[in-house]
Amino acid sequence: MASSNGDIMIGSASGVKAANAEWFTADLTADIENNIAVVFEVQVSVSIAVAVEVTFDSGSNWTVLNDSTAIGANKIHIFDIKLRDTDTFNMRTPTTSGATIDVCTVDQTNGGC
């Protein structure tokens, strides 16, 4: 669903997640037309300080967000992540079992970073 500023809600997640469990049941993909640059704006808050990882290839490789620093507990963090049309996006916490995702929303915005 597009918002008034043209953003599209791509996915959302919440609840307790096991270590290394992907947050989204199905990988998220960008809705790309005419090779326009696409950015996923990710808003996330987790119940404990923890590293958060993302994948662009259905889990074959993982990259740590936030300069490899754990995000603060119960604080909103926003990341803008550029995607290509072939990327398949997901998130996880790599080492902490039982972390509760307070909120995680992924919106697509069109345009460059």
Sign of the C-alpha dihedral computed for residues 49, 100, 19 and 23 taken in this order: negative
Whole-number CA gyration radius for the chain: 14
Instruction: Write out the two tokens for 42.
Output: 């990710």
Which tens digit of pLDDT belongs to each residue from 18-72? 889 999 999 999 887 777 768 999 999 999 999 999 999 999 999 999 888 899 9
Pick the residue with more confidence: 5 or 73? 73
Q: Beta strands of the chain (E only): which ranges?
A: 8-17, 38-46, 53-55, 63-64, 77-83, 90-92, 99-110
pTM of the entire predicted model: 0.86
Comparing CA positions, the residue from 50, 48, 46 lying closest to residue 102 is 46
